[in-house]
């Protein structure tokens, strides 16, 4: 036995390290990321201003906690010891100072890098420096890492993300690990043991239903992002989430489209990562992003992603089971004009095989709570008759009478 003792010990150490941090992201992470609005044009003043807005505008109170800086934070070259360096012009006081400021607001700090040699913006990637970078992030107090997939040449996606997972764990500071691999290697099939969330599609853009073709790749509107991946809801749950990308709420769509976008992300149990300029958002945008009743659907402890149950006269019906045998039901108008709808609850029996739950309106009657008007009115005993504006939603929380 002694002959093999060292091997057994080494094997045990490797097994302990080969895991992500448990007990993180048990509900979808909520926060903000710099990319959608600012690209690589970020600096210390901006990040501190965003942190201030988290608190001042009620976003922290609504549940948002991660402030994540995306690509462009680092200098173009590593230092003589191979360490990443914060851009001295953008961050003259260094990254630790910024992290400390964010923490002083009661928030958590997230940072960005990439599995390749270079990031998508051409800055130093982590390939070959995974453990070195993880130790640096831990020394700064980083709480969240978004890890991209540019310039990866012939890397194996699962293996590359496992390497950084192990590096983060070895560094010893609990970090939410966000896999930004764009869904190209079906991360929902292997991501649960590697990270806490994984991108399911390419980048989102601020339109309702469009493709923004960049030549070698495209950005996708909200509806196309939702429709791009189907039949993967069974892979999501507490600690491991399908991620359809950051939100574009407040970035130029109509109020109705913003409301629908936010609702869909909440129904889909998606990470709620804001992508707008918090310092200048309108009251309408703030009201959407801080609607605690809609957020409660997203943060529901059951952790089941909604399913698209039916489409009736261009109105999609989405259904999400919640704790305490409650449900959320969303009616989404796909048309470019107002649509009248008549939904007879009694004609529907909805079975969710993922949650192993059945919603039988003939056997049970539910009260209806409209989550945008925040009014309780009516029950499922009578048909729902309503008008839904173009690209808008009606959302109800169903609870037993």
Parallel, antiparallel, or unpaired for β 144-148 and 349-352?
Answer: unpaired
Residues 6+ apart with CB under 8 A from 149: 114, 115, 116, 157, 180, 181, 182, 184
Rounded to 10 degrees, the C-alpha dihedral 158/164/168/174 comes to -40
Measured CA to CA, the distance from residue 188 to residue 244 in angstroms comes to 12
| DSSP three-state, residue 62 | helix
| Half-sphere exposure for 322 (CA within 13 Å, toward CB) | 21
**Range list of H helices, 197-244:** 222-228
Q: What is the dihedral of CA 164, 182, 232, 316, to 10 degrees?
A: 140
What are the φ/ψ torsions at residue 30 (nearest 5 degrees)?
-120, 130
Q: What are phi and psi of 326, to 5 degrees?
A: -95, 170
CA neighbor of 91 nearest in space, from 52, 47, 31, 53:
47
Q: Tokens in use for 377?
A: 């009115």
Enumerate residues 6+ apart whose C-beta is below 8 A from 56: none
CA distance to 205, 242, 329, per residue, from 370 (Å): 29, 26, 10
Q: Which residues lie below 8 Å from residue 43, measured CB to CB, with a gap of 6+?
A: 89, 90, 91
Q: How far apart are CA 264 and CA 246, in angstroms?
A: 13
| CB-based contacts of 138, cutoff 8 Å, min separation 6 | 171, 172, 173, 175
What lies within 8 Å, CB to CB, of 373 at 6+ separation is none
Catalytic residues: 148, 203
Q: In whole angstroms, give the CA distance from residue 201 to residue 224.
A: 10
Q: Going by C-beta distance under 8 Å and a sequence separation of 6 or more, which residues neighbour residue 181? A: 149, 157, 161, 187, 198, 199
């Amino acid at each position: 036995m002694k002959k093999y003792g060292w091997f057994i010990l080494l094997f045990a150490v490797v097994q302990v390290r080969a895991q992500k941090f448990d007990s993180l992201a048990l509900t979808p992470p909520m926060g903000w990321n710099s990319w959608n609005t600012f690209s690589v044009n970020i600096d210390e003043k901006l990040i501190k201003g965003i942190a201030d807005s988290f608190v001042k505008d009620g976003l922290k109170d609504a549940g948002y906690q991660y402030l994540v800086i995306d690509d462009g934070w680092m200098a173009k070259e590593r230092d003589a010891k191979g360490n990443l360096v914060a851009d001295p012009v953008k961050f003259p006081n260094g990254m630790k100072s910024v992290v400390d400021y964010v923490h002083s607001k009661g928030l958590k700090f997230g940072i960005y890098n990439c599995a390749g040699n270079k990031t998508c913006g051409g800055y130093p990637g982590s390939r070959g420096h995974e453990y070195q970078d993880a130790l640096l992030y831990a020394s700064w107090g980083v709480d969240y890492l978004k890890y991209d997939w540019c310039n990866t040449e012939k890397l194996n996606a699962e293996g590359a993300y496992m390497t950084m997972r192990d590096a983060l764990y070895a560094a010893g500071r609990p970090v939410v690990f966000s896999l930004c691999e764009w869904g190209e290697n079906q991360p929902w099939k292997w991501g649960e043991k590697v990270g806490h969330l994984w991108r399911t599609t390419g980048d989102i853009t601020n339109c309702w239903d469009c493709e923004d073709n960049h030549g070698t790749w495209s950005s996708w509107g909200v509806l196309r992002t939702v429709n791009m991946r189907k039949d993967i809801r069974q892979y999501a749950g507490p600690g491991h989430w399908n991620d359809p990308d950051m939100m574009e709420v407040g970035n130029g769509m109509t109020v109705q489209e913003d409301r629908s976008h936010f609702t869909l992300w909440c129904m889909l149990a998606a990470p709620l990562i804001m992508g707008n300029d918090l310092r200048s958002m309108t009251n309408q945008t703030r009201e959407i992003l801080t609607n605690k009743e809609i957020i409660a659907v997203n943060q529901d402890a059951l952790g089941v992603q909604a399913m698209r149950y039916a489409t009736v006269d261009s109105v999609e019906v989405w259904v999400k089971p919640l704790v305490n045998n409650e449900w959320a039901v969303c009616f989404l108008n796909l048309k470019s004009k107002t649509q009248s709808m008549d939904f007879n609850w009694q004609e529907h029996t909805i079975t969710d095989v993922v949650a192993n739950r059945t919603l039988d309106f003939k056997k049970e009657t539910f009260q209806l709570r409209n989550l945008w008007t925040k009014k309780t009115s009516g029950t499922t005993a009578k048909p729902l008759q309503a008008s839904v504006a173009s690209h808008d939603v009606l959302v109800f929380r169903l609870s037993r009478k």
